[in-house]
């Protein structure tokens, strides 16, 4: 999620009443130390085929960071030199949100969302690149859209190849997390594709968004951000997870509670200076899984910064180091 998508002041009040995490601060590891350009929001990170790392994020025309060692990060401009014209159908500034970077069929694929504050008049687009580096992207237009009559919001995309097919999760508020099948040739939603429902909260404003699915062993794991982002040190973002033997669900937490009924194991929440942890994605680097996310630095006026933690697996569930 980018700017908070709360349609009314009343919705914001509901968020303030949501229960806080029951975990002690000591339950959560700090992100690994990094240097250089740390400011980021909704990061997607990948190790490039050519070596080194790239991260894209909300801000600018999809802001870019590059690194040789995943510790020193440098500003690398933006994915695009200028917004494609069709973005202005969804906001006045051509402002994209929450990118998702992947490599498939010899190309890098960059999915992203365009929308406006507090509305589900939204669209997910896609671009491709031979290198994955900023300035090399070719936009291919809309992948999937939502309108005011839809019960979902077409933002926060994340793509996974599973069960011989290509899928995209998405969603923010508006009854939560959804999934559609994509055409692997075009990278866009198949015409008439079923919209699967994966996770939600029991009460409005259904504060769950930013999904990301990873396969480990026989399970698919759905990570999502719960509660409110984008309020600096007042943010209450946290990351929860559930799993399923099928990519389309149903997803349940470790107690067996369905994510469609508000379930989800708490993986990471704010602690110490690291406030409002969320906007997450997962990437793999030489056999090691990593969780990338943003947090708001309470020791730096709530500035959003890049968090990276090793992601390991214990008794069939993810844990952070």
For residue 117, the model assigns a pLDDT of 87
What does pLDDT average to over the chain? 92
pTM score of the predicted model? 0.92
Dihedral angle at the C-alpha atoms of 127, 51, 221, 186, nearest 10 degrees? Answer: 20
Phi, psi (degrees; rounded to nearest 5) at 182: -110, 155
Name the catalytic one among 42, 100, 253, 265: 42
CATH topology of domain 9-320: Tachylectin-2; Chain A (2.115.10)
Q: Is 42 a catalytic residue?
A: yes
- How do residues 109-127 score in pLDDT, each as one tens digit? 999 999 998 999 999 999 9
Q: Please calculate the CA angle 50-51-57 and round it to the nearest 5 degrees.
A: 95
Whether the pLDDT of residue 18 is over 70: the answer is no
Rounded CA separation 231/225 (Å): 14
| Closest C-alpha to 30, from 301, 297, 304 | 297
Residues 6 or more apart in contact with residue 168 via CB below 8 angstroms: 111, 124, 143, 144, 157, 158, 159, 160, 179, 180, 181, 182, 189
Whether the pLDDT of residue 98 is over 50: the answer is yes
- How do residues 244-279 score in pLDDT, each as one tens digit? 999 999 999 999 999 999 999 999 999 999 999 999
Q: Where do the domains of the chain lie?
A: 9-320
Rounded CA separation 176/135 (Å): 33
For residue 302, the model assigns a pLDDT of 98
- Token digits of residue 210: 């930013």
Share of the chain above pLDDT 90, in %: 91
For residue 83, the model assigns a pLDDT of 97
Q: Is 194 a catalytic residue?
A: no
The pLDDT confidence band at residue 227, using thresholds 50, 70 and 90, is very high
Name the catalytic one among 95, 100, 156, 209: 209
Whether the pLDDT of residue 20 is over 90: the answer is no
Rounded CA separation 212/179 (Å): 11
For residue 27, the model assigns a pLDDT of 85
Phi, psi (degrees; rounded to nearest 5) at 86: -70, -20
For residue 214, the model assigns a pLDDT of 98
Phi, psi (degrees; rounded to nearest 5) at 298: -70, -15
CB contact at 8 A, 6 and 118 = yes
Rounded CA separation 226/261 (Å): 14
Burial class (CB in 10 A: 0-12, 13-18, 19+), 315: exposed
User: Between 20 and 209, whose confidence is greater?
Assistant: 209
The pLDDT confidence band at residue 1, using thresholds 50, 70 and 90, is low
DSSP string, 304-318: EEEEEEEEEEETTEE
Dihedral angle at the C-alpha atoms of 221, 202, 112, 187, nearest 10 degrees? Answer: 60
Burial 279-314 (b: 16+ CB within 10 A, else e): bbbbbeeeeebbbbbbbbbbeeebbbbbbbbebeee
CB contact at 8 A, 54 and 37 = no
Rounded mean pLDDT, 126-135 = 98
DSSP string, 50-72: TSSEEEEESSTTTEEEEESSSSE
């Amino acid at each position: 999620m980018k700017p908070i998508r709360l349609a009314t002041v009343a919705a914001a009040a509901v968020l303030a009443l949501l229960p806080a995490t029951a975990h002690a601060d000591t339950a959560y590891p700090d992100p690994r130390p990094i240097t250089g350009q740390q400011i980021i929001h909704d990061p997607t990170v990948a190790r490039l085929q050519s070596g080194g790392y790239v991260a894209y994020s909300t801000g600018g025309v999809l802001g870019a960071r590059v690194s040789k060692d995943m510790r020193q990060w440098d500003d690398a401009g933006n994915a695009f030199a200028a917004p494609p014209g069709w973005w202005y159908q969804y906001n006045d500034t051509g402002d994209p949100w929450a990118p998702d970077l992947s490599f498939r069929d010899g190309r890098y694929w960059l999915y992203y969302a365009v929308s406006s504050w507090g509305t589900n008049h939204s669209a997910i687009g896609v671009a491709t690149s031979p290198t994955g580096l900023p300035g090399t992207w070719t936009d291919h237009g809309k992948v999937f859209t939502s309108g005011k009559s839809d019960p979902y919001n077409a933002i926060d995309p994340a793509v996974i190849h599973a069960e011989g097919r290509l899928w995209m999760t998405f969603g923010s508020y508006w009854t939560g997390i959804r999934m559609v099948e994509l055409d692997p040739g075009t990278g866009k939603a198949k015409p008439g594709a079923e919209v699967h429902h994966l996770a939600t909260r029991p009460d409005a404003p259904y504060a769950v968004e930013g999904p990301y699915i990873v396969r480990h062993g026989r399970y698919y794991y759905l990570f999502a951000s719960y509660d409110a982002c984008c309020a600096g040190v007042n943010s209450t973002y946290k990351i929860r997870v559930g799993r399923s033997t099928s990519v389309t669900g149903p997803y349940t937490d470790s107690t067996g509670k369905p994510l469609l009924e508000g379930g989800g194991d708490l993986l990471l929440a704010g602690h110490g200076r690291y406030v409002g942890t969320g906007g997450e994605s997962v990437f793999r680097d030489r056999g090691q899984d990593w969780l990338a996310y943003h947090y708001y630095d309470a020791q730096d006026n709530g500035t959003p910064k890049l968090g990276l933690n090793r992601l390991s697996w214990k008794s069939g569930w993810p844990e952070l180091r």
